[in-house]
Each structure stands twice: as structure tokens, then as C-alpha cells.
């Protein structure tokens, strides 16, 4: 970039949990070690991998002195992130998932943004990467600084600020006492509840710099299992906090609760014996009860609102409409 700016002198801890990702880890690590921002601490947390992922990480560690490696028994993504955070020494911290990758200037841009704005966090947009194509989460390019309430609003909507933790550079001072919930899926949703009460300002940059890879078998693409219900519990906990502290965000929080129930129902309906799933009747009953609220909510697509109305009397038609809505990417990460 020419003259060295203040942002190029900052130290960033990049935390990468690693578990059985031998097909993806090289692309992820290549994108990190080749960053235009050089002053990095790269923490790889091997969470009990049983494939060649640890050997690949060791190979990169030998080549790059900025890389250090933590090895632990398999405890899940949250525990791996917590271990990395505990060991981080950087002024700023970012979490990168080991099956994703980032633009070569992502960290430089985020550090520049967070430094110039004196914010507690800086965010960027993401590309959703599928087998045949990739698509930005938000198509317009915008850049601004806002308070934590407006930032939280945008996280709940999930467009200008996608609701992943991986597209956010965080001032370590703000998160040093926080941790991800061990043993729970959708840990980002739980973590954001605490995070957004710690930060005061956020620099938002919607240009997509993070490449989020949608792969079959991942937590966000697999069929229903009992842990899938964690997403409902996360956003029910979220709306309880919002009602107490940020009542102006109730419409957005309600959207996320309804959205979570839709996510769970749609995964249940992928199973042949979905009627025998413990929570099926409750989830279906909840959505039918709140059809009017869903229709009034400004953040749902027209197709999803129609699907909600149809759910009351024709489940097969609902399934068809929900699949169509998912193809149009109503389901946000």
C-alpha cells in the first residue's frame, strides 16, 4: 500500500480450529499466510483430528514461524476457539473456519478500518461458496461506523453484517472474558448475545472478503438431529435479552426466532419419519400460531410468508414453497 500506516503495525491473532478438514485446510492456510498484512499470529487448534489435517498443519508450521499449534482431545468447535482465544496475544482477534478461506487483503482492510474508526470491531461481507457458483450475501458496497445497537440490528437481519463470527475482527480487550458455549451447535448465535453487549462501536464494510464454503455434511447443511434445536434456544435466549436491554430490536429479534423455527422445521421435513421427532409437533404448532406475526414482519420474503400461510393446511405445498425460498437464499448464515 506504499507508506506504512498505523494499521499495518497492529498485531492480529488468527484462530483456526481444525477437525478432519484435510480436503480444505491447505486452501484456508494458503489464504492466511499470504495476507498483505504480515504481523500475524496464526493459532491452529487441532481438535482431535483423525485424518491428515494435523500433519498438514505441522507442514505449514515448519515453513512459517508465525504459526503455532495447539493439540487437544476432540471437544468441538467452541472448545477449540476458546483454547485459541486463551492463547492469543494479539491486540485484535479473528476466527477463521478451516474449511473456508479469505481474500488476500481481508485482514489489512479490517485492521485499517478498525484503527481509523477507533471501533471495537470491524466487519466485512461474505461470499457464499457452493459447488457450482458463489454469491455475495449482500450486493451493495457500503462502509460506515455505527453503535452496537445498530450493528446488532444488522447482525440479526443478516445481510449487511452476516451473522457469522468469522467475518469480524474484534478488539481482544472486548472479548477476553467471553467464551463460546461448549457442547452447543450454532455457537456464533450464542456468542453474539454476549459480544454485542461488550462492544460500543463497529466499523461496517460490506465488501465480501470472506469465502464461506457450503459443504455437504457440515453442521449448517446436514439433516435434522437433536442438536439442530440449539438454534431455536439461541435466538429465544437472544430475544429475552433484547426485551430487557434493547427493546428497539424486538422486530429483528422476532424475525430471528421465527427464522430459527423455520430452519428446524425444514430440516425435520427432510427425514422420512419426521412426525416421530420429539420437537416436531411443537415447532409446527409454534409457526402456525405466529403466522400473522410472520406475515407482518418486514424481513421475511414474500415466498416465506406464503409458505407460512400454507403450512396451516397443506404440508406438502409448504415443503415445495420452502425449498423454492431456500434456493432464493432466504436462509441466511
Structure confidence by residue, pLDDT tens digits, 50-66: 999 999 999 999 999 99
- 44 with 15: CB under 8 angstroms? no
How far apart CA 326 and CA 324 sit, in angstroms, is 5
- Would you say residue 7 has pLDDT above 50? yes
C-alpha cell at 242: 433484547
Residue whose C-alpha cell reads 421435513 in the numeric block:
269
Average pLDDT for 79-100: 97
- Would you say residue 224 has pLDDT above 90? no
- Would you say residue 219 has pLDDT above 90? no
- Would you say residue 330 has pLDDT above 60? no
C-alpha cell at 99: 474449511
**Integer CA distances (angstroms), 57 to 60, 61, 64, 82, 143, in order:** 5, 6, 10, 19, 35
Q: What is the value of pTM for the model shown?
A: 0.91
Q: Please name which of 34, 29, 33 lies closest in space to residue 18, comparing C-alpha atoms.
A: 29
C-alpha cell at 108: 489489512
* pLDDT at residue 327, rounded to an integer: 61
- Would you say residue 308 has pLDDT above 60? yes
The more confident residue out of 10 and 230 is 230
320: Cα separation from own chain's centroid: 27
Average pLDDT for 103-115: 97
Average pLDDT for 301-308: 90
* pLDDT at residue 287, rounded to an integer: 97
Average pLDDT for 263-290: 93
Q: How confident is the model at residue 328 (pLDDT cuts 50, 70, 90)?
A: low
Average pLDDT for 33-44: 97
Q: How confident is the model at residue 77 (pLDDT cuts 50, 70, 90)?
A: very high
Q: What is the mean pLDDT of the chain?
A: 92
Amino acid at each position: 500500500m506504499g507508506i506504512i500506516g498505523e494499521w499495518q503495525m497492529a498485531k492480529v491473532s488468527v484462530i483456526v480450529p481444525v477437525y478432519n478438514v484435510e480436503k480444505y485446510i491447505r486452501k484456508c492456510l494458503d489464504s492466511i499466510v499470504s495476507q498483505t498484512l504480515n504481523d500475524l499470529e496464526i493459532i491452529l487448534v487441532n481438535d482431535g483430528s483423525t485424518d491428515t489435517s494435523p500433519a498438514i498443519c505441522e507442514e505449514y508450521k515448519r515453513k512459517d514461524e508465525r504459526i503455532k499449534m495447539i493439540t487437544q482431545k476432540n471437544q468441538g468447535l467452541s472448545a477449540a476457539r476458546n483454547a485459541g482465544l486463551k492463547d492469543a496475544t494479539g491486540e485484535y482477534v479473528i476466527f477463521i473456519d478451516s474449511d473456508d478461506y479469505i481474500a488476500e487483503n481481508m485482514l489489512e482492510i479490517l485492521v485499517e478500518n478498525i484503527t481509523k474508526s477507533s471501533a471495537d470491531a470491524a466487519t466485512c461481507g461474505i461470499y457464499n461458496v457452493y459447488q457450482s457458483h458463489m454469491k455475495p450475501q449482500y450486493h451493495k458496497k457500503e462502509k460506515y461506523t455505527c453503535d452496537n445497537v445498530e450493528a446488532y440490528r444488522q447482525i440479526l437481519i443478516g445481510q449487511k453484517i452476516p451473522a457469522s463470527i468469522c467475518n469480524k475482527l474484534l478488539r481482544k480487550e472486548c472479548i477476553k472474558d467471553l467464551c463460546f458455549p461448549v457442547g452447543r451447535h450454532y455457537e456464533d448465535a450464542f456468542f453474539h448475545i454476549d459480544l454485542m453487549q461488550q462492544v460500543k462501536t463497529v466499523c461496517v464494510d460490506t465488501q465480501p472478503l470472506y469465502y464461506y464454503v457450503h459443504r455437504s455434511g457440515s453442521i449448517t447443511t446436514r439433516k435434522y438431529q437433536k442438536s439442530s434445536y440449539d438454534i431455536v434456544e439461541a435466538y429465544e435466549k437472544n430475544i429475552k435479552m433484547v426485551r430487557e436491554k434493547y427493546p428497539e430490536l424486538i422486530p429483528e429479534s422476532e424475525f430471528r426466532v421465527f427464522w430459527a423455527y423455520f430452519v428446524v422445521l425444514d430440516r425435520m421435513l427432510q427425514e422420512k419419519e419426521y412426525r416421530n421427532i420429539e420437537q416436531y409437533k411443537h415447532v409446527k404448532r409454534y409457526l402456525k400460531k405466529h403466522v400473522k406475526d410472520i406475515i407482518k414482519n418486514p424481513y421475511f420474503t414474500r415466498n416465506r410468508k406464503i409458505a407460512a400461510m400454507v403450512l396451516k393446511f397443506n404440508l406438502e405445498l409448504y415443503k415445495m414453497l420452502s425449498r423454492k425460498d431456500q434456493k432464493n437464499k432466504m436462509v441466511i448464515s
